[in-house]
Each structure stands twice: as structure tokens, then as C-alpha cells.
Amino acid sequence: MSSLERISPPPLKRRRLSTPPPQTYPEPSTSHTITPPPEHSSAKLPTHLTIYSWNINGIQPFLPPQTTKITNILTTPTPSKPPPNQPSLRACLRRWKWPHILALQEVKIAPTDTKTQSLIRRIINTPLDTDDEAASPHHLYDTYFCLPRDKHNATGFGGKIYGVCTLIRRDINPAATTTTPVPWDIEGRVLLSTLPHHKTLIYNIYAINGTTNPYRSPTTGQVIGTRHDAKRIFHTHLASSIHSHEAQGWNVIVAGDMNISRTSMDSFPRLRMGEEHVRNRADFEEKVIRGCGMRDVWRMVRGEERKFTYRPRGKRWGEGGDRVDMVLVSRGLEGRVRRVDILDCEEERGGSDHVPLWVEVEVGG
């Protein structure tokens, strides 16, 4: 894999924010090309998509227990009858009225753990009860993963770090729909879903969190920058990809955890104002929002309303929050956003430190 297919930050040397030096960014690989969407389709497809995004902060609590206590041997749970207090992704899907797409971030699955991946694919489609079983043919999902492969930057916790997962309901034209990683990410941060007959691409994003921790060359392991540097290069790759897709005639949706609070309205009690955080925020605005003309659907539809997607577990509910998870749409979808909401409550946060958000977008007719 060429160096252009990876996030390769500039050297550590940086100047003050007031006089930023000109930067040269590597171009993303051009080997990841996508055929332009077809002009017409006669297939009967939904005219809108409901998309949920949630940083789940570890999928382990949603898996069936590996062992059973002796006292419970006579009431052992089955996949169709989970323990009363065990979280269930399928129960979430039903509560959310079976969205077309669910984008999960930070699933924290080791890339070699194919057993867990297979288990998730199974339990996602296992009916919860008899009512669900009767309707289940209409509520089946295909599950896709992108897990970290970077041996120098994503090795913590036995590889159970980062990772994104996209669930796509099978009735939105499965034969033509594809979901794959992108060549410029090897940390398990990006999945790209292609819906040709909707002329729409959907990114599931877990953007890099900017910190002063070192960023190492994926090939040599040598320190070549910080995670702040890597974050800004991630923005460059994402923006370049969006530009390329739009030029080919695609509408683009970006959903996920951007690890950015855009303005003071998006943080409580206050926005982070450290020099590098200010620079990262300006970089995101310049490259992705203004540079690509992407629309933040929450601000576009809900104006100055304040809800947050990140709710830290170390504080009492309501003492702090940030809107770092977003859905962005390209210009062609700006007038097609029907509804958007953030499920900003403790129940929906569950065991995570983020809450889900969702959008409904018209994609055809």
C-alpha cells in the first residue's frame, strides 16, 4: 500500500497559530474509484432513507454472556430471549422503527476476532419475540465492519480499539449496494456505502481525536507527528474524496463521530479553546464544511437549538456535553432533509458516553 493510502502527518515542527505556515498535504489514493451512479432505475425502492448514527463505545455489552451462573441454569437465555437487563441492538433497531441504515462507531473489536463479527451478524437478525419473528423478513440487515490494521497506531487493548460497523436493511436494493473500507484509512475509521440506484454515498466516520500523543509511520513505527496532525490530514483525505464523488454525480452523506464541536452552541459548559483544538476546528470548517459545501443537518433544520451527542459518564447527567457527532449532506441533498433529531437522554446513551442521532432524507421518487 502506497504512502498516499495512509494518513501521513507533516513533521512535528509547528509555528504559532497566528502565523500558520503553508502546508502541503498528500493526495488520497486514486485507486479507489467508484462508478458514477446510473441515470435511471425501474426498481421499486424507498423514496427516503432513515439513517441513525451512534458511537457505541464498545459493542461487548450487546453480546450474549459467555458463561451462565449455576443458579440460572434452568432459565438460560437464548438469542431470541436475552437476559432482562442485557442491551440488545435489535431492540434498539425496533425502538427506532427499523432505520434503513445504522452507523456505529468505536465497536472495539479485534480485527482477528471473526467469531464476534459472525455473532453480531447473527444476533442482529434474530427475532426478539413472536411479533418480531412474524415481521422479521422485512427487518433483516447486512452487517459490515472496518477494523484497525495499523500495527503502530491502533494496537491498544489487544486490537480492541476504534472500529466502525454499518448495518444496511436488505430491502434497499441489496444486489447493487456495496459497503467497503477506503484505501486512505487503516485505523478502522471509515466505511463507505454505495447506493447506486439512490445516487447516494454514505460515509460512516469515526474521525481522529486530536491529542498530543505521537503519531507513528504505519510502515516504520517512527514518530512523524501528533494525533492533531493526523486529524487534519484525515480532514484532507475526507474532503478530497467528497469532491471526487460529487464530480462523478453522487450525492454524499457523512454520518458519525467527527470529534469536533463546531461552535460555542455545541459545547457545555464551554468550547475547548486550546491552540491545537482551535486549529483543528478551523481546519474542519475550511476543508469539509466550506471547502466541500457540506451542510450540517442539525443546524440547517434545528437552527440554534442545543442538544449534545457526547455525555461524559464521569459527570452527572446535564453537567457537560458536546455535539461532536453529526450528519452532513452535500449540496444536492440540502433541500431533501425531512427531519433530524438527537436522542439526548440517559436511556438512549445506555452504556456508551454518546447518544444516537438520526436523519430522514429524501433520495428519490
Q: Is residue 155 part of a domain?
A: yes
For the whole model, what pTM was predicted?
Answer: 0.86
Find the domain containing 251 and state its range. Answer: 46-66+76-362
| Active-site amino acid positions | 206, 257, 354
Q: Is residue 36 part of a domain?
A: no
243 annotated to a ligand binding site? no
pLDDT for 34 equals 67
245 annotated to a ligand binding site? no
Q: Is residue 334 part of a domain?
A: yes
The amino acid that residue 73 corresponds to is: I
Q: Give the count of domains, the chain.
A: 1
User: What are the tens digits of pLDDT across the range 51-91?
Assistant: 999 999 999 999 988 744 444 545 555 555 555 568 999 99
57 annotated to a ligand binding site? no
Distances (CA, A) of 19 to 15, 22, 212, 308: 7, 9, 20, 33
Taking the C-alpha atoms of residue 222 and residue 343, their distance in angstroms, rounded to an integer, is: 42
pLDDT higher than 70, residue 166: yes
Q: Is residue 30 part of a domain?
A: no
Q: Is residue 4 part of a domain?
A: no
User: What are the tens digits of pLDDT across the range 313-358?
Assistant: 999 999 999 999 999 999 999 999 999 999 999 999 999 999 999 9
Q: Is residue 195 part of a domain?
A: yes
Mean pLDDT, residues 230-246 taken together? 98
Q: Is residue 33 part of a domain?
A: no
Taking the C-alpha atoms of residue 339 and residue 341, their distance in angstroms, rounded to an integer, is: 7
pLDDT for 39 equals 53
Q: Is residue 211 part of a domain?
A: yes
259 annotated to a ligand binding site? yes
pLDDT higher than 50, residue 235: yes
Taking the C-alpha atoms of residue 87 and residue 56, their distance in angstroms, rounded to an integer, is: 11
CATH of the domain at 59: 3.60.10.10
Average pLDDT of every residue of the chain: 87
